[in-house]
Amino acid sequence: LHSQCFDEIIRQVTIDCPERGLLLMRTRDELKMTIAAYQTLYQSSVIFGKQKLLQSEKGKTELEQRIAELEKTKAELEDKKIQLTNKKEAVEKRIQERDEIMREKRESELKFLKFQGHHLENFLNNIKP
């Protein structure tokens, strides 16, 4: 509708003054080219935006998969840590029990040797008048 009105104005102005009519036609043509350029720019920017959206969604999916993998690995490592901690505590307990048994054994052996030494001294004292 605007285009038809503008064409009619150009026609009427061209009848009165051909130079002004030519300038208005150039202006109309420049305006059409500018609008076409803006439409092309808009369409290409929409396409670019869609491509970027698809790339970001693809990257998002990959990152979510990576996060899931890392969380699984983390859970496995935490389980392994718990197992190793339990194993370490068991080994420390065994070592402590073994040390306690060895200490008791040394004490009983020392007590026996003292007892034996004391009896041997008494025996020697009894042998020598």
CB atoms within 10 A of CB 36: 10
Q: Can you give the pLDDT at residue 55?
A: 86
Query: Residue 129 — very low, low, confident or very high, per pLDDT cuts 50/70/90?
Result: low
**Res 51 pLDDT > 80:** yes
- Per-residue model confidence as pLDDT tens digits over 71-103: 999 999 999 999 999 999 999 999 999 999 999
Q: Please report the pLDDT score of residue 58 as a whole number.
A: 85
Q: Is 12 helix (H, G, I), strand (E, B) or coil?
A: helix
| Alpha carbons within 13 A on the beta-carbon side of 57 | 6
What is the pTM (predicted TM-score) of this model?
0.47
Cα–Cα distance, 111 to 107 (Å, whole number): 6
Residue whose C-alpha is closest to residue 11's, from 33, 20, 34: 20
